[in-house]
Amino acid sequence: MKVVTTREDLRAARTGLDDLGFVPTMGYLHDGHLGLVRRARRECAGVAASIFVNPTQFGPGEDLTSYPRDLDRDLSLLEDSGVDLVWTPRVEDVYPSGFATNVQITGVTEVLEGARRPGHFGGVATVVTILLALMRPRQLFVGQKDLQQSVVLRRLVADLGLAEEVVVCPTGRESDGLAMSSRNIYLDDAHRQAARVLSTALRAARAAYASGQRDAATLRGTMEAILAAEPLADVDYVSLADPDTLVELEGPITRAAASLAVRVGRPRLIDNTLLHEDDPGLG
């Protein structure tokens, strides 16, 4: 496994790797990230990952400086997963002196996370454009865990032609349903127990949908009632939206993305599931 830092070393290491699958991350890896690597391994001849805590996607007061980091452990997990190339840039390798580019995506960035975290998706779109321009993969692998991000990145790649395909991989979960996240490390025991309420609420929406409930407000209400019963959960939003446009749905639905953002003690957790008739399970 080659590990490179500068753009120049990346360019040299990239040579000769055709049919590349790319998994960008912010590190502090868990099995959800490794699920993306395993999928890339199956679908592509070569696999590259990046580890970069991108400052421009954090807002003031968010956890940029305290974001968990463990590079040695990450590299050994990636090596054990069969990754060929890892880019671990410094801030100046991604944003060279005089950097003045800003990639903005309209529409799908303006709701949900985008509405609550101003500048977040501008930061994501800009960094992923740079990563893809330098890495030049055939396929980009992202997680459904960050549903809106996956929608934004599909738009970016389709608009700018930065890869052939974006592959959205299912959410890796702990055995009790909690979606894996680097930020779960911030949960103390009581809040870790309480954090199960997100997947419990999503499962309840899925069960209601499976038994024929199609009314958007009723499905939203099912999730809200479960979240409201957990005193340690501070709900930011409960959304039932079109899975492609992320526009909130009203009345009878056919397919939908149910998404939650809930502060549970220190971390603000997000999770989601897709409701549609060929049900893939709690993704």
The residues carrying an active-site annotation are 33
Asked if 133 and 156 count as a contact pair (C-beta separation under 8 A), the reply is no
Of the residues 20, 127, 162, 180, which one makes contact with ligand AMP according to CB under 6 A: 180
Structure tokens at 251: 């009345």
Asked if 33 interacts with ligand AMP (CB under 6 A), we say: yes
Of the residues 21, 32, 114, 243, which one makes contact with ligand AMP according to CB under 6 A: 32
- 2 labelled binding-site residue: no
Asked if 169 interacts with ligand AMP (CB under 6 A), we say: yes
Of the residues 50, 126, 181, 199, which one makes contact with ligand AMP according to CB under 6 A: 181
Q: Mask: binding to ligand AMP, 139-168, rule CB under 6 A, as x and -? A: ---xx-xx----------------------
In the chain, at which residue ranges do the beta strands (DSSP E only) sit?
Answer: 2-4, 20-25, 46-51, 85-87, 139-143, 165-169, 233-241, 256-264, 268-275
Give φ, ψ of 178 to 5 degrees: -60, 130
Q: Which residues contact 127 (CB under 8 A, 6 or more apart)?
A: 52, 54, 56, 57, 94
Please state the closest distance from residue 24 (CB atom) to ligand AMP, in A. Answer: 6
Query: Which residue, 168 or 275, is less far from ligand AMP as judged by CB?
Result: 168
Q: How many CB atoms lie within 10 A of CB 118?
A: 10
Asked if 219 and 258 count as a contact pair (C-beta separation under 8 A), the reply is yes
> Measured between alpha carbons, how far is 264 from 97 in angstroms, rounded to an integer?
39
Residue with tokens 């459904």: 144
Of the residues 36, 49, 125, 198, which one makes contact with ligand AMP according to CB under 6 A: 36
Asked if 25 interacts with ligand AMP (CB under 6 A), we say: yes
Give φ, ψ of 216 to 5 degrees: -60, -45
Give φ, ψ of 222 to 5 degrees: -60, -45
Please state the closest distance from residue 181 (CB atom) to ligand AMP, in A. Answer: 6
Of the residues 171, 222, 239, 272, which one makes contact with ligand AMP according to CB under 6 A: 171
Q: Mask: binding to ligand AMP, 104-143, rule CB under 6 A, as x and -? A: --------------------------------------xx
- 148 labelled binding-site residue: no
For the annotated binding site for ATP, the residues are 26-33, 143-146, 172, 180-183
Residues that bind ligand AMP (CB under 6 A): 25-26, 32-33, 35-36, 142-143, 145-146, 169, 171-172, 179-182
